[in-house]
Chains A and B, each alone.
Chain A
């Protein structure tokens, strides 16, 4: 659906403001009841999902135009989907999809954010979102004894994604993930320098063509490699492969796992066993792309109709993505099984988790906002006495590390892979 097709939603947004908060019935601590970083940080209603509906409706009626202010508001948003979940507790509206379509419209019309232009230029040239050289992509795995799928065959492909490939500080995590899988005798390989971006982040910025291109490329590459299963330690990549490719009709035709799902299977089947205690009080941060945004896509084509007078229904019935089917339990289950771990939950979890701050291109264009959002999450983690915040995505870890560095926060930030590795 194009952005104009959401006119129903634009008209029927009531300004209840529920999009600004986590769903009220789940509020347990009033210091941590906000759900949307954008409105929390910038205050103007325009920064909320409701405000986006309002701006879009005004744009549709030609009351306003796309200006720098419009772009600033549209892109100072992590596209984390918290608003979408809260809205859908009360309404049948699609704020996140409208925001996505608005971004696509901006790109289509050449209304671009300079910081994102550089990233996209890098992507188009070097196949990655990190403005790094394609040739260096496989360096993270240097020295590892792992199959190169351009030359050898394996059942499973380990796709680390752009952040793990080029963020040297995070290389040990990517390597540890691979090591865990190999130790469990998984027949696994990598594409090394031939691995390319999933295209998901570019899509979030509004570049739908990039997603199409990379989806087609990946399908071909995976078919050539002959793999049956993909495992990725990156939540962004997971959401692209699992959800976005399906959304655009480019399903990969292989099984897609986030590494936490795969590790859970290996643990449950006894292929990974914990030998060491990890004496740490930790909390788990749900990456948006693994949680609510990792919920499978639901295809629907039909039309709105009326029932029982003016009641708004659909033919055929429309099932909305309300976040319930994201990946929430596997990482928690793993943490619960690790000896010594004292696992405590934060106040905003699962479908209504607060974002780490890296998503939607914010880390590239508005780094101060990215840090602010991460800092808010660290405060929440500290408030429940956690010594460490554990996530399952390199973007989350990177942004938490940045925030810790910036604010001098004493909390530790880990990826779940690191915790698992410590206990073996």
Chain B
């Protein structure tokens, strides 16, 4: 729908005519994101009334005030590469594409932090920080994801979290445009000073700002954030290269970068693998931890080449096949250090733990090329998860618990997934006969893991899509066999209220956390203008449909508001 003329004019006056649009051809490129088909049953979510490209905090503040004045929903985003990052509850809503706010404002090497605007990507900050011997971690996202989105707004976990931590722990001061249009600067930023710390003299509010799963744009816009940086032991610059005639995706580092070492031990079974992984984490020596399949495998250039490789493996003689399948009980360990002595110490620890759990270092994984590949993929990103079938769902979002719990869940979830894989609805990780349990460590494994059973499914194949929905339901419903505890979420680790009624259906089962969450939403957003489709509504809608994936109005009735 079109905005009232005076509302549009007010918005245009703020950013100028070049940076606002209500052209349907352009608007319809702001509502098609991966995952939409899973949630809304169609690629398009609601078409926004307008999209704006603001350049400053002041512009955003003024825009939000107009939204309050005319009761217009708003949501801001950086790359937009995330479930529901562009979804709006209804058509009287605008999106703020923050790509013009793309400056790294400061890299404070002495205090190991950076101040960035929303469109600064994680990889860009990593490249710049490396010049100062620093590094920023990332959540489970690709290269293009924004630092602020990752640190302040979304859930996700990744391999370096064992060293860089994650979630609210890396956020220092922020500049935050509240849904009322007020600007809140947290901590030391309160009186206009540097955003050095979130912990006073002003409010911290990091728990509210971010919590575990993030508000996903549901309570305002972070326009500037100061984030922690961690040591980078490698050189200030590096190159990934390929041979002439080779495709770009095959490019990689010639060797693990100086300052780091990589080891890929293989264990006898999943039990030993997880026990050893937990012990590696507790030893506080790792820079990154991942599963073998992430790193050591050279990912073929396309699906057909990948398919050929799988077939070759399956047709190999049994001994060779056994060897190839060993990656399922392998882990990638990255260590780094300021000195040779530090690295030597860490290496000794790795050897001791590996020996204790009966592991060995197989030459097919521990050669120079594999190790370099593993290093790059774990420290940065492979980013090809969506190619095989078009989508994937990590089944478990952070089961809080010990390696024992991780193992138990992994095995149980694996059984659930097996039936979908055998039916042909999901692509198996590994092979049908040698299925592997995939998992990602979250911080020190003492907290949990994500992606225990990744469902690799095709959203545009009705059979596969149906299976993905059933699978997620089976795993996440707290009344199911897993009796999941913790903040509930479904695929993508977000709280997808209008679609799944997560909070409404399950909140009472989790100590009524939702009551407090709704109070926070009401307090921050009295006029309910910050879109809450990936957060929580101040009041529940009166049309809950348990287990229903698509609200009757959602994505269908753009004028229903």
Interface residues of A (CB under 8 A from B): 8, 10-18, 20-21, 23-28, 30, 33, 43-46, 50-51, 53-55, 57-58, 61, 63-64, 67, 69-70, 73, 85, 88-92, 306-314, 317-320, 322-325, 328-329, 351-352
Q: How far is the CA of A53 from the CA of B391 in the complex (A)?
A: 17
Task: Answer whether residue B251 sits at the interface, using C-beta atoms and an 8 A cutoff.
Answer: yes
**Best-surrounded residue of B25, B124, B458 (most CB of chain A within 10 A):** B25
Q: How far is the CA of A188 from the CA of B376 in the complex (A)?
A: 51
Q: Which residues of B contact A28 (CB under 8 A)?
A: 237, 239
> Which chain A residues border B44 with CB–CB below 8 Å?
58, 61, 63
CA–CA, A27 and B381, complex, Å: 13
Q: Are B245 and A324 in touch, CB under 8 angstroms? A: yes
Query: Does B427 sit within 8 A of A, measured CB to CB?
Result: yes
Q: Residues of A contacting B355 with CB < 8 Å?
A: none
Which 4 pairs between the two chains have the least Cβ-Cβ distance? A14-B34, A310-B458, A317-B304, A24-B143
Instruction: Tell me, in angstroms, the Cα distance from A15 to B95 when the chains sit together.
Output: 16
Determine which of B251, B383, B421 lies in contact with A26 in the assembled complex, contact meaning CB atoms within 8 Å. B251
Using Cβ atoms and an 8 Å threshold, which residues of chain A touch B384? 90-91
Q: Are B25 and A15 in contact (CB under 8 A)?
A: no
Contact A57/B303 with A14-B81, A25-B376, A26-B251 known, Cβ cut-off 8 Å: no
| Alpha-carbon separation in the docked complex, A288 to B249 (Å) | 19
Could you tell me if B307 and A55 are in contact, using CB atoms closer than 8 angstroms?
no
Q: Are A312 and B458 in contact (CB under 8 A)?
A: yes
Contact A57 B32 (CB under 8 A): yes
A177 to chain B, nearest CB (A): 25
Which chain B residues in 236-292 approach chain A with CB under 8 Å?
237, 239-240, 244-249, 251-252
Tell me whether B25 and A90 are in contact (CB under 8 A).
Answer: no
B549 to chain A, nearest CB (A): 18
Interface residues of B (CB under 8 A from A): 19, 21, 23-26, 28-30, 32-34, 37, 43-44, 47, 51, 53, 79-81, 86, 97, 99-100, 123-124, 127-128, 142-144, 237, 239-240, 244-249, 251-252, 301-308, 310, 376, 380-381, 383-384, 386-391, 421, 424-428, 431-432, 456-461, 464
CB distance A69 to B128 under 8 Å? Answer: no
Query: Chain A residues near B237 (CB, 8 Å)?
Result: 28
Contact indicator A310/B425 (Cβ below 8 Å): yes
Cα separation A70 to B308 with both chains bound (whole Å): 40
| A64 to B390 Cα, complex, angstroms | 25
Q: Smallest distance from the beta carbon of A70 to chain B beta carbons, Å?
A: 5
The reply to whether B245 and A309 form a contact with Cβ atoms under 8 Å apart is no
Complex contact A43–B99 (CB within 8 A): yes
Tell me, in angstroms, the Cα distance from A69 to B29 when the chains sit together. Answer: 13
A70 to B391, CA, bound (A): 29
Interface centre among A21, A25, A320 (most CB of B within 10 A): A25
* Chain B residues closer than 8 Å to A69, beta-carbon distance: 23, 25-26
Contacts of B432 in A (CB 8 A): 308
Q: How many angstroms from the CA of A27 to the CA of B127 in the assembled complex? A: 9
What CA separation (Å) do A217 and B196 show in the bound complex? 70
Knowing A18-B142, A24-B143, A89-B249, the reply to whether A313 touches B25 (Cβ < 8 A) is: no
8 Å CB contact of A57 from B43, B144, B461: B43
Chain A: minimal CB distance from B87 (Å): 12
Given the complex, which residues of B lie within 8 Å of A55, measured CB to CB? Answer: 25, 28-29
Cα A278 to Cα B28 in complex, Å, equals 53
Contact B144 A21 (CB under 8 A): yes
Please state if A27 and B383 are interface contacts (CB–CB under 8 Å).
no
**Min CB gap B395→A, angstroms:** 16
**In the bound complex, do residue B383 and residue A45 qualify as a contact, i.e. CB atoms below 8 Å apart?**
no
Say yes or no: A45 contacts B43, CB within 8 Å: no
Q: How far is the CA of A376 from the CA of B51 in the complex (A)?
A: 27
By the criterion CB–CB under 8 Å, are A312 and B123 in contact? no
State which of B24, B34, B387, B431 has its C-beta within 8 Å of the C-beta of A64.
B24
Is B97 a contact partner of A23 (Cβ separation < 8 A)? no
Among candidates B34, B244, B248, residue contacting A89 with C-beta atoms closer than 8 Å: B248
> Chain A residues near B24 (CB, 8 Å)?
58, 63-64
Contacts of A50 in B (CB 8 A): 29
- Within the complex, which residue of A21, A307, A329 is in contact with B244, where a contact is CB–CB below 8 Å? A329
Docked-complex contact B34 and A15, CB < 8 angstroms: yes
Question: What chain B residues lie within 8 Å of A11 (beta carbons)?
Answer: 37, 43, 390, 459-460
Check if A91 sits within 8 Å of B29, measured CB to CB: no
Q: How far is the CA of A30 from the CA of B47 in the complex (A)?
A: 33
Q: Which residues of A contact B304 (CB under 8 A)?
A: 92, 313-314, 317-319
Main secondary structure of the interface of A (DSSP, over half): mixed
Structural contact, A328 and B144, CB atoms closer than 8 A:
no
With a cutoff of 8 Å between Cβ atoms, the chain A residues found around residue B124 in the complex are 27, 30, 33
Residues of A within 8 A of B244 (CB): 324, 328-329
Q: Contact partner of A18 among B29, B37, B143, CB < 8 A? A: B143
Beyond A24-B143, A45-B29, 17 additional pairs, beta carbon < 8 A: A11-B460, A12-B390, A16-B383, A30-B124, A43-B99, A44-B26, A58-B44, A73-B26, A89-B383, A91-B386, A92-B304, A306-B458, A312-B388, A318-B302, A318-B304, A319-B302, A322-B301
In the docked arrangement, what's the CA distance between A352 and B301, Å? 16
* B-chain residues with CB within 8 Å of residue A23 when the two chains form the complex: 248-249, 251
CA distance A310 to B467 in the complex (A): 11
A307-B307 contact given A69-B23, A322-B301, CB 8 Å threshold: yes
CA of A9 to CA of B23 in the docked complex: distance in angstroms?
23
Q: Which A residues are in CB contact (< 8 Å) with B81?
A: 14-17
Contact of B246 among A21, A324, A328 (CB under 8 A): A324
State the Cβ distance, A91 to closest chain B Cβ, in Å: 5
Which residues of chain B are within 8 angstroms of A92 by Cβ–Cβ distance? 302-304, 387
Tell me the nearest residue of chain B to A48, going by C-beta.
Answer: B29
| Chain A residues whose C-beta falls within 8 Å of the C-beta of B32 in the assembled complex | 13, 15, 53-54, 57
Give A33 to B431 CA distance when docked, in angstroms.
Answer: 38
A347 CB to nearest B CB, Å: 11
Contacts of A8 in B (CB 8 A): 460
Q: How far is the CA of A45 from the CA of B143 in the complex (A)?
A: 18
Which chain B residue has the least Cβ–Cβ distance from A54? Answer: B29
Rounded to whole Å, the gap between the CB of A47 and the closest CB of chain B is 9
Which chain A residues border B29 with CB–CB below 8 Å?
Answer: 44-46, 50-51, 54-55
Name A63's closest neighbour in chain B (CB-CB): B28
Q: How far is the CA of A91 from the CA of B308 in the complex (A)?
A: 17
Residues of A near B123 (CB, < 8 A) are 24, 27
Whole-angstrom distance between the Cβ of B59 and the nearest chain A Cβ: 14
Complex-state Cα separation, A361 to B51, whole angstroms: 28
- A30-B25 in contact (CB<8A): no
CB-nearest residue of chain A to B376: A25
Residues A310 and B248 in contact in the complex (CB < 8 Å), given A55-B29, A67-B25: no
Chain B nearest Cβ from A389, distance in angstroms: 22
Bound: A67/B47 CA distance, A: 18
Given A16-B383, A58-B28, decide whether A308 and B302 contact each other with a Cβ distance below 8 A.
no
Contact A17 B303 (CB under 8 A): no
B377 to A, closest residue via Cβ = A25
* A324→B457 CA distance, assembly (Å): 30
CB distance from A169 to the nearest CB of B (A): 34
A61 CB, min distance to chain B CBs, angstroms: 8
State how many angstroms separate the Cβ of A5 from the closest Cβ of chain B.
Answer: 15
Q: Which residues of A contact B425 (CB under 8 A)?
A: 309-310
Residues of B within 8 A of A73 (CB): 25-26
Which residue of A17, A69, A319, A352 has the most chain B CB atoms within 10 A of its CB atom?
A17
CB <8 Å contact, A351 and B248: yes
A309 near B424: Cβ-Cβ < 8 Å: yes
CB atoms of B302 and A320 under 8 A apart: yes
Select which of A14, A20, A308, A319 is within 8 A of B310 by beta carbon: A308
Tell me which residues across on chain B come within 8 A of A322, comparing CB atoms: 247-249, 301
- Return the chain B residue nearest A58 by Cβ: B28
Q: Please pick, from A16, A70, A317, A324, the residue contacting B247 in the complex, using a CB distance under 8 A.
A: A324
**Interchain nearest-CB distance for B25 vs A (Å):** 5
Q: Out of B80, B387, B427, which one reaches A17, CB within 8 Å? A: B80
Nearest A residue to B21 via CB reads: A44
Bound complex: CA of A44 vs CA of B26, how far in Å?
Answer: 7
Task: Enumerate chain B residues within 8 angstroms of A54, measured Cβ to Cβ.
Answer: 28-29, 32
Which of A21, A85, A313 lies in contact with B248, CB distance below 8 A?
A85
